[in-house]
């Protein structure tokens, strides 16, 4: 293998990574400009379970959608009213109408024992996934 072949392989790999990165950024921006925002969330691992807490201010918890598969957790929720971040964001002209997030589930999580609780006063959702035994 020549020196040139090595550089060609490196260039190709860098191009592939750049295309992947651009596609990911494009997807995020297209969601943002279509009025979808990702909520703040925290994933905490305990010896026997995972707890995922999502903060959904202005979220209509009656319109909450939670889908769990072996590999991902998808959560969507409409907002009770449109929200704009006119003073603090580069998205000043965007009205946000919906939350949406997709999280990877750890391979040792038991989705059959999943439990979801809501705290409407704080607009928090907690998803508890026990670990497989």
The tens digit of pLDDT for each residue in 17-63 reads 999 998 887 776 666 667 888 899 999 999 999 999 999 999 998 88
Domain shared by 48 and 65, yes or no = yes
DSSP three-state, residue 29: helix
Domain shared by 39 and 21, yes or no = no
Is residue 99 exposed (0-12), middle (13-18) or buried (19+ Cβ within 10 Å)? buried
Determine the structural domain holding residue 50 and report its residue range. Answer: 35-130
Residue 129 to residue 110: CA distance in whole angstroms: 6
User: Domain count of the chain?
Assistant: 2
The pLDDT, as a whole number, for residue 92 is 60
36-37 sheet: strands from edge to edge: 36-37, 96-104, 72-83, 65-68
Domain shared by 20 and 39, yes or no = no
pTM (two decimals):
0.71
């Amino acid at each position: 293998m020549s020196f040139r072949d090595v550089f060609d392989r490196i260039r190709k790999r860098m191009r592939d990574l750049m295309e992947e990165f651009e596609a990911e950024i494009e997807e995020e921006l297209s969601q943002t400009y279509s009025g979808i925002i990702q909520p703040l969330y925290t994933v905490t691992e305990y010896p026997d379970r995972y707890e995922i807490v999502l903060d959904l201010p202005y979220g209509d918890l009656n319109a909450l959608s939670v889908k769990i598969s072996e590999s991902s957790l998808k959560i969507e929720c409409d907002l009770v009213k449109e929200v704009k971040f006119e003073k603090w964001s580069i998205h000043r002209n965007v009205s946000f109408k919906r939350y949406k997030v997709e999280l990877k589930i750890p391979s040792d999580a038991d989705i059959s024992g999943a439990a979801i609780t809501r705290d409407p006063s704080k607009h928090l959702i907690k998803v508890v996934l026990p670990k497989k035994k």
